[in-house]
Structure 1
Amino acid sequence: MIELVVVTAIIVVITSVVLVNNARFGGVVQLENLAYDIALSIRQAQVYGISVQRLGATTFSAGYGVHFNTSDPTEYELFGDADGNGLFSVDENVPPSPFTMTHGYSIMKLCAPAADESCLLPKADILFKRPEPDAWISDGETSCIQSPGTPGDCKDSVRIVLVSPRGDTMSVIVEANGQISVRRGPQ
């Protein structure tokens, strides 16, 4: 009888450990999927921007980008830069955008450059324009396309830090050369 109680206790302990870690593991997997979804949205903007993707009825030369705003941390937008200023405007949204993050997942912070630890950037616009695959990274307020020679207007990289309801973090990093990567943690 004692052996049965001991075996039952061991099974209960192992099962509870597995169930607790399974919930955390599932949350991390969902966060990782979200990070890759955002990276793929950025890649889609890159492909649209350097190919001949029509915007509207007649515009073939527009750049495409992705807009992030920490004041709306559960959404991001794919946009076609119809006015050519390098910044997101509400009327430039490209369906099926805006993309909404659900179940408590959100943008925690935006950092430009990516190595910046203060991460005080409230907005970020990442634009791709023909013929180069390079990213034009603006702070969402000042266009680096309209003033490319002005120091500080174009960022050399941006890090989008995502957070899960449990506090796990992942980062999507976009370099000015067009490289897009996903990393665990906030760095």
Structure 2
Amino acid sequence: MEPFRFHRDSVTAGGFTPLDNGPERAIHIQCPHYLTGFTLVELMVVISIMAVITAIVLTSQSSFNKTLVLANTAYDIALSLRSAETYGIGSRAITGGAVNAGYGIHFERGNTGSYVLFADISPGPAASGCHGLPAGGATAPDAQPGNCVYTSGSDALVRTYMLGNGITIKDFCAYSSGAWSCMRGGLSSLDIVFARPNPDPFMSKDGAYSRPFPVTAACLTVASPGAPDGPFRFISIAQSGAITANAASDPSSCH
């Protein structure tokens, strides 16, 4: 078949007309339907769906991060308590010559964003102290100073721990005489002290240790900022020295 040429000006309503005198041939060019693109409504629907999915993902990620930071804070508090236990049982040396001093953690209602690790060196060994006196009296090598309560300016401040990330100690409670007392009910302070040779903690509330009615259990609640209804994490301390951290709900041994 002999080829034929087209001229750009030789156009009819039905297509192109060849330059020679042969029969008129029409060539129709038709665009497929799928090349017509999206409508504005379709684009808006897709963008809306993507925006909703992105918002859900970002919200979930933020919630996960807050929960993770809260859990880490609960573990940090538990590790601080274990550090006090290690120092106390090991009788870590204190600047100033005090020996056999116990170490403790002090929580205070007025400072819910921090707590302190301290050496319980004041007052000196006495029969009225939380440790009492050994058979050799106040000058015996195994006599222990302290009253199992942190006294600012008298006891040795080892370290102040800041919770950070806006996390606070929402509540702390102490169990004694068959009842719980908590910060939200007026409890002002909680002290947990460890001293050799006993690994069991000496726990005090409201700045006083009571031998006849000692605190036999304690717990703390930590919360994220702007979350009055949770999530929370709980740390509990038993009289046996057992410490439970990062509980998502109140442990049975804690208020």
Query: Aligned pair 1:184/2:248, yes or no?
Result: yes
The alignment partner of 2:199 has SS state of coil
The alignment partner of 2:117 has SS state of strand
Query: Aligned pair 1:132/2:194, yes or no?
Result: no
Give the structure-2-normalised TM-score.
0.64
Q: How far apart are residue 186 of structure 1 and its match?
A: 5.0
Per the alignment, do residues 11 and 138 of structure 1 end up closer, same or farther by CA in structure 2, a change over 3 Å counting?
same
One-letter code of the match for 2:248? Answer: R
Distance of 1:108 and 1:138 partners within structure 2: 19
Aligned to 2:92: 53
The alignment partner of 1:89 has SS state of coil
- Alignment match of 2:148 (pick from 81, 86, 106): 86
Distance of 1:124 and 1:101 partners within structure 2: 17
Per the alignment, do residues 11 and 117 of structure 1 end up closer, same or farther by CA in structure 2, a change over 3 Å counting?
farther
1:159-170 equivalences in 2 (<5 Å): 159-167=219-227, 168-170=231-233
- Alignment match of 1:39 (pick from 72, 78, 81): 78
Q: How far apart are residue 7 of structure 1 and its match?
A: 4.4
Task: State, as a whole percentage, how many aligned pairs show the same letter.
Answer: 31
Distance of 2:181 and 2:157 partners within structure 1: 31
Distance of 1:28 and 1:37 partners within structure 2: 14
Per the alignment, do residues 93 and 8 of structure 1 end up closer, same or farther by CA in structure 2, a change over 3 Å counting?
farther
Which protein is bigger by CA-based radius of gyration? 2
One-letter code of the match for 2:172? Answer: L
Aligned to 1:113: 175
Show CA shifts across 1:13-64 (max 9, x none). 2221010111111111111111111111111000001113112242230000
Per the alignment, do residues 172 and 125 of structure 1 end up closer, same or farther by CA in structure 2, a change over 3 Å counting?
same
Distance of 1:100 and 1:140 partners within structure 2: 22
* Greater share of helix: 1
Per the alignment, do residues 13 and 118 of structure 1 end up closer, same or farther by CA in structure 2, a change over 3 Å counting?
farther
**Which range moves more in the overlay, 114-123 or 97-106?**
114-123
Q: Is the 8 A contact 2:113 2:168 kept in 1?
A: yes
Aligned length: 180
One-letter code of the match for 2:167? Answer: Y
Q: Name the Cα RMSD after superposition.
A: 2.3
Q: Is the 8 A contact 1:74 1:107 kept in 2?
A: yes
Q: Is the 8 A contact 2:119 2:156 kept in 1?
A: yes
Q: Is the 8 A contact 2:150 2:207 kept in 1?
A: no
